[in-house]
Structures are given as structure tokens and as C-alpha cells.
């Protein structure tokens, strides 16, 4: 079976420095994959390559059987790839509802027949999305009333309103309280199956709560892959995390 997303020997350099260097990674449809690795391992760059923010210099990226390596970012968004950046892209002055309406205007329609979010074609659907990320009580409040955690969840709802199928999250729990981190893990768990998710995360509490397959990057490539237990027992992984209080202190 071909994977939903395949990165084959992908590479990119910045001024001769190989930030991603022969990365090969496969993610199946409906999977929730955690991507970890030490600072500078190339995790953010890997997401940049998948969503087309950065163009790959070598290798290929195949999504749903289509070679997207050379596509522009807007074209990749149109085939169903949604990326949440570390800096929020919500409109602070608009309400949660209005933010979702703006995002829905950009929806691809590609998956609307397949996904449960098909109901988002009306305001009832958008309310359902707000409820899904725990913002039902804030639907008609301006986004600048939201806490940091709530803003991150709104961002995820915006990707859903845009009809993203593959969702890329870069450190979604950064700056969150333990309770917010737990809620974010819960949102990811509930998205799994309907959507395919790749989440870059340093918080091992979050990664353990997710409990699915983890991919570990180091020096621009895949170092190891497996369950939490397998990753924690892997001598190669332990080696790269030496000096940073081990993997759990990552
Ligand atoms: N646009 C760029 N120009 C130059 N160097 C870059 C650029 N983007 C990334 N790099 C370098 O590539 C390497 C990988 O960076 P990247 O941000 O992908 O790492 P990361 O795994 O996300 O790290 P972190 O955990 O700190 O977020 C780093 O050494 C970084 O300095
Ligand atoms: Mg990063």
C-alpha cells in the first residue's frame, strides 16, 4: 500500500548548510505522527518543505499519489495540506465566527464530501467546528479576548474550515499550561482518522499522551521511528539527546 504522504530522500540547503539532508518519511492516511528531534534537527524545515513554504532541492514529496515537490505553496494548500505556523494567523479584531467564515471562504472543497466538516458550509457547521476545539462559548467574541491556548485551537479550527486533509502543526503546545497541553492532545486524538496529522513537538508529556508512532529527526534526516518505548530505548536516540537531560528533558 502506498502511504498517504511520502518524502523520498528530500533535501534542502541554506547557504551550503544541509538543513534537511536525505529525509525519507512515510505517513499513512488518518495517522497522528509525532515528529521530534533536538534543536536544529530540521523539523520545521521538513514541514516547510511539505507545505511548499520552502522548495526541495532534491528528492520527492508524494501526497495522495501526486508529486507535489515542485508545486507552489498555494497549490499544495489547494490539494489539502494545511499548516499551522508558530505565529498565529487569526484576525484579532474579528470574532471566532468571523475568523472561521474567512477561512471557510478559502476552503478547497476537495474533501467536503468525504469529511464530516461538510456541514461547515453553513454557520451551523462553523459553530460545530468551534465546539470541536472547545470555543463554543466564545463563538461571537473577538479573537483578541482568547487566551494563548484558545488562539492555538482557533488556528486548528481555521485549518478545518479551509478543508485541510493533512494537518501540519509546529509545536502547538509551546507556551501552554499543562491543562491546555492535555486539551491539545485530546483535539489531535479526535482529529486522527478523519485527518492525517504531523505534529512537531518538544513536550514529551504530550508525545507520550498521543502514544502513536514517533519519528525522530537528527541532522536533517530520520534517525529512528517507533513507539515511545522503542524510541526511549534506542541507543541512537539516547546518544543525540545526551547533554539535554535525555529524551524526556527534550
Ligand atoms: N531560512 C534559513 N536560512 C538559513 N538557515 C536555516 C533556515 N531555516 C533553517 N535553517 C537552519 O537549518 C537547521 C534546521 O532548522 P529547523 O528550524 O528546521 O530546526 P528544528 O528541528 O525545527 O529546530 P527547533 O527544535 O529549534 O525548532 C538549523 O540549523 C537552522 O539554523
Ligand atoms: Mg522548529
Residue-range definition of the domain harbouring residue 125: 31-40+80-249
pLDDT tens for 124-174 read 789 999 999 999 999 999 999 999 999 999 999 999 998 899 999 999 999
Name every protein residue with a CB atom under 6 angstroms from any ligand 1 atom.
14, 17, 19, 37, 39-45
Q: Among the atoms of ligand 1, which is closest to the Cα of residue 217?
A: 21
- Short-list 77, 63, 76, 67, CA closest to 28: 63
Q: What's the 243 CA to ligand 2 centre distance in angstroms?
A: 19
Pick the atom of ligand 1 nearest to 54's CA: 1
Non-local (6+) Cβ contacts of 58 within 8 A are 9, 10, 11, 12
Q: Does 187 reside within a domain? A: yes
Residue 127 lies in a domain: yes
Residue 137 DSSP symbol? G
Domain assignment of residue 11, yes or no: no
Q: Whose CA is nearest to atom 3 of ligand 1?
A: 14
User: Considering the domain boundaries, does residue 139 fall inside one?
Assistant: yes
Instruction: Give the model confidence (pLDDT) of 48-98 as tens digits.
Output: 999 999 999 999 999 999 999 999 999 999 999 999 876 678 999 999 999
Burial class (CB in 10 A: 0-12, 13-18, 19+), 158: buried
Task: Answer whether 154's CB lies under 8 Å from 133's CB.
Answer: yes
Decide if 180 is inside a domain: yes
Give how far the C-alpha of residue 171 lies from the chain's centroid of Cα atoms, to the nearest Å.
Answer: 8
In this structure, what are the phi and psi dihedrals at residue 190, rounded to the nearest 5 degrees?
-75, -20
| C-alpha–C-alpha distance, residues 239 and 216, integer Å | 12
**Percent of the chain residues topping a pLDDT of 90:** 80
Whether residue 200 lies inside any domain: the answer is yes
CB burial of residue 214 (10 Å; 0-12, 13-18, 19+):
buried
- Contact status, residue 184 vs residue 172, Cβ threshold 8 Å: yes
The answer to whether position 99 is within a domain reads yes
Question: In which band, very low, low, confident or very high, does the pLDDT at 231 lie, cut at 50, 70 and 90?
Answer: very high
Cβ-proximal residues to 11 (8 Å cutoff; 6+ apart), any chain: 18, 20, 21, 22, 23, 56, 57, 58, 59, 220
Provide the 3-class DSSP secondary structure of residue 109: coil
* Residues ≥6 apart with Cβ < 8 Å to 17: none
Looking at residue 18, its pLDDT comes to: 97
| Closest residue to atom 1 of ligand 1, CA basis | 14
Q: Number of structural domains, the chain?
A: 1
Please state the pTM of the whole predicted model.
0.92
The enclosing domain of 111 has a CATH number of 3.40.50.300
Between the alpha carbon of residue 108 and those of residues 75, 148, 215, the distances in Å are 10, 28, 29
The rounded Å distance from CA 43 to ligand 2 centre is 6
CA 42–ligand 2 middle distance (angstroms): 7
SS3 label, residue 206:
helix
| 198 domain-assigned | yes
The predicted structure's pLDDT at residue 132: 95
Amino acid at each position: 500500500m502506498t502511504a498517504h504522504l511520502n518524502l523520498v530522500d528530500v533535501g534542502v540547503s541554506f547557504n551550503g548548510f544541509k538543513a534537511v539532508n536525505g529525509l525519507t518519511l512515510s505517513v499513512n492516511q488518518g495517522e497522528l505522527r509525532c515528529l521530534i528531534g533536538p534543536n536544529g534537527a530540521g523539523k520545521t524545515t521538513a514541514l516547510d518543505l511539505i507545505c511548499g513554504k520552502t522548495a526541495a532541492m532534491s528528492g520527492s514529496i508524494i501526497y495522495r499519489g501526486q508529486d507535489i515537490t515542485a508545486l507552489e505553496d498555494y497549490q499544495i494548500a489547494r490539494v489539502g495540506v494545511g499548516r499551522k505556523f508558530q505565529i498565529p494567523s487569526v484576525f484579532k479584531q474579528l470574532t471566532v465566527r468571523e475568523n472561521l467564515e474567512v477561512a471557510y471562504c478559502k476552503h478547497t472543497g476537495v474533501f467536503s464530501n468525504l469529511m464530516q466538516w461538510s456541514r461547515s458550509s453553513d454557520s451551523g457547521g462553523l459553530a460545530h467546528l468551534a465546539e470541536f476545539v472547545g470555543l463554543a462559548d466564545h463563538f461571537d467574541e473577538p479573537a483578541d479576548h482568547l487566551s494563548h491556548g484558545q488562539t492555538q485551537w482557533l488556528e486548528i479550527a481555521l485549518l478545518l474550515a479551509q478543508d485541510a486533509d493533512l494537518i501540519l502543526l509546529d509545536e502547538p503546545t509551546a507556551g501552554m499550561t499543562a491543562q491546555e497541553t492535555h486539551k491539545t492532545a485530546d483535539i489531535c486524538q479526535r482529529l486522527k482518522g478523519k485527518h492525517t496529522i504531523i505534529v512537531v513537538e518538544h513536550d514529551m508529556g504530550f508525545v507520550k499522551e498521543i502514544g502513536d508512532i514517533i519519528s525522530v529527526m537528527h541532522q536533517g534526516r530520520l534517525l529512528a521511528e517507533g513507539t515511545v518505548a522503542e524510541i526511549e530505548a534506542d541507543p541512537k536516540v539516547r546518544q543525540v539527546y545526551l547533554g539535554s537531560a535525555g529524551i524526556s528533558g527534550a
